[in-house]
Amino acid sequence: MTESLYQRLGSAEGITAIVDDVLDRHAVNPLLAPRFSGKDLTRSKQMATQFFCMGAGGPQTYEGLDMRAAHAGMNISEQELIAAMDDFVAAMQGHGVGAVEVNEVVAMLYSLKAEVLRL
């Protein structure tokens, strides 16, 4: 039986480490940092971890807002989306995630673009 993306990313422990790294990167990324200034990064990390775990096939339940509601009124640009995806790729590579898994995550994130862009 083939392992799920969740398992291949190191289950909850691995995904938590990746998400923590991603949001730390977002917080200092010149394109994204203004969006995170003054925000509760701990809560953001918790919600993002739940979302990522569930989306990757884990048993977790996501308790946050849907993507459209979470990003409504933010008017996120394509450049910001690309910067966020770049942070995901860099974090995953830094945690030794393989190219196949990185590509799966990028495809998953890209599939959500209509739920976050220009709202």
Q: What is the largest CA-CA distance in the chain?
A: 45
For 68-86, what is the mean pLDDT? 95
For 69-75, what is the mean pLDDT? 94
For 69-78, what is the mean pLDDT? 94
Give how far Cα 45 sits from Cα of 1, 3, 73, Å: 31, 25, 21
Instruction: Enumerate the domain spans of the chain.
Output: 5-115
**Average model confidence (pLDDT) across the chain:** 95
CATH superfamily, domain at 5-115: Globins (1.10.490.10)
What number of other Cβ atoms are within 10 A of residue 82's Cβ?
12
- The verdict on pTM exceeding 0.85 is yes
- On the question of pLDDT at 1 being above 80, the answer is no
Q: What is the pLDDT of residues 41-52, one digit of tens each?
A: 999 999 999 999
Are 88 and 32 contacting, i.e. CB atoms less than 8 angstroms apart?
no
Q: What is the pLDDT of residues 78-100, one digit of tens each?
A: 999 999 999 999 999 999 999 99
